[in-house]
Amino acid sequence: MRRALVMTLLHTSPRHVDVFERLFARLAAEEAEADGGTGLPEIRLSHVVREDLLRRAITSGVLPEDTFERAARILHEATASSDGVLCTCSTLGPAADEAARRAAKPVLRVDRPMAALAAQTGRSIAVLATLKCTLAPTCELIEQEVARVADRADVAPVLVEGAWDALEAGDTACANALVADNIRLAQRAGANVIVLAQASMAEALDQVSDVTVPVLTSPASGLAAAVARLRAIG
């Protein structure tokens, strides 16, 4: 009997455990329906939550060097007990890239597929985040992906003021409304693709059915890409 593959997910909020478990259940159901009995290898998720890593970045406004190194070490060490690792926090994305350089197994960042799609979709890209420390790594990642497919693109960072505080206070409705308002403002400002930099922002999509440009989020696409990567090596 073939053993199950293990994917470790590093989160910086316990809220994301349930989000990614639900996404994975949906993805597994879709795979099973499309499989036709060929027997895809089973994948099991393992979760690590390290709120302290994001807290340090929030305090600094950037990802501090010691936190970068700590996150890279945690991600690298997680490969010892798993077949692949997915970092679900965009702020820690650069640490995931560093861990990937050190590790023999895949260490992936959840926002890379979203960034690649943004680069392929538009030349005026608005990047929305509720935390200052998330904007720079996400914009840099999108610029890397743009360089693969085009000469240039306008990548505009937008900080959604007040949304993170509302989320931390438990007022999800307020946080989502603020994100939705900024999505509409970004479209009116001329963006032809809008990126929501943090996994926690994805719920705001339910409120922007009036927006006509693509609005991209990372959880579903990032998890699907990670699962596909594990399937390929399993």
Q: What is the pLDDT of residues 175-234, one digit of tens each?
A: 999 999 999 999 999 999 999 999 999 999 999 999 999 999 999 999 999 999 998 886
Give me the mean pLDDT over the 150-167 stretch. 95
Give me the mean pLDDT over the 42-58 stretch. 97
Write down the number of H helices and E strands in the chain.
9, 8
**What single letter denotes the amino acid at residue 224?**
A
**pTM over the 0.85 mark:** yes
Residues ≥6 apart with Cβ < 8 Å to 233: 83, 84, 106
What pLDDT digit, counting tens, does each position of 99-147 carry?
Answer: 999 999 999 999 999 999 999 999 999 999 999 999 999 999 999 999 9
Rounded (10°) angle between helices 51-60 and 132-149 = 90
Torsion over CA: 51, 197, 21, 181 (sign):
positive
Residue 3: the pLDDT is 78
Establish how many alpha carbons lie within 13 A of residue 220's alpha carbon, considering only the half-sphere containing its beta carbon. 12
Residue with tokens 């979709």: 121
Residues ≥6 apart with Cβ < 8 Å to 38: none
What pLDDT digit, counting tens, does each position of 13-37 carry?
Answer: 999 999 999 999 999 888 877 766 5
